[in-house]
Chains A and B, each alone.
Chain A
Amino acid sequence: MQPHNTLLESYLRQLKLPTFAQNYTAFAQDAARTGLSCERYLLALSEAEMAQRDANRVERCISQAKLPVLKELSQFDWSCVQGVSKTRVFELAQGGYITHSEPILMIGNPGRRLVSCRDGTGSGGLPTRATRALLQCGDAGQ
């Protein structure tokens, strides 16, 4: 490793940019191969850093929430519930009720309520800050 690489990685660690440090070489090679400008190279690195931070934050939120069981909305067996619109639940899972500090009251006998609801959009589950809030409610689906 070149001395300037060691120095760069040290600076990146001090600046708390671990994904930069991990990816800058591979991204630089890719940029050289595809003729990417310096700005686009920096943008790609920044996007990777942001995505990793977002993923870390989601995991931290999940851990701090002390959820008994983590499940995705996509895993929920909708055939076992009546009276609740799937569309409505997916709308709620977007997190608007959190932004507006609204309550959700789930009424039903044990074993029928939703467990946890990441939004199940396939984009890592929780693409926005609001959506990150899970609906881990009850014990269905265990």
Chain B
Amino acid sequence: MRFYNVATLVNDLISAQHELKLSRFLALLGKHELLVLDEFGFIPFSRDGAHLLFQLCSALYERSALIITSNLKFSDWNSVMGEEHLTAALLDRLTHRAHILEFLGDSFRFRSRLKQAEQSGEEEGQAEAF
């Protein structure tokens, strides 16, 4: 299993391509039983980056498990992939036999911060009471 921030992975793929080591890198990634691609959607990919990511996902299709996390709904994936036909082909592969989990609710960090603020407010109130 290997965890990647998706932007980092795309950069690594582009570097591998420039160094003529793409096939080797793809083969290496294909050896993992599971790849986790985190934060798909925060940073749009370059044209080459989008193509390489598609190439990777296509190579892994039905060969390795893949977990992708994204803040974007599928209808917005084109905004990071850049090309409609590429996005459609990627989603076609990814959603086939996929387990889709949609998380709703407040940010955990936001809630945690609110909780801390409430606690510090209570402590300040107690200190003033003394």
Contact = CB atoms under 8 A, between A and B. Distances in A.
A64 B71 contact: no
Contacts of B107: 109-112, 140
A107 B106 contact: no
A104 B101 contact: yes
B105 A98 contact: no
B74 to A, nearest CB: 8
Chain B interface size, as a band, is: 35 or more
A117 to B, nearest CB: 10
A64 B4 CA distance: 12
B91 to A, nearest CB: 9
Interface stretch (B13-21, B92-100, B120-128): B92-100
Given A111-B108, A135-B36, A137-B36, A81 B103 contact: yes
A107 B100 CA distance: 8
Contacts of B66: 103-104
Interface of B: 1-4, 33-34, 36, 38-39, 60, 62-74, 94-95, 97-111
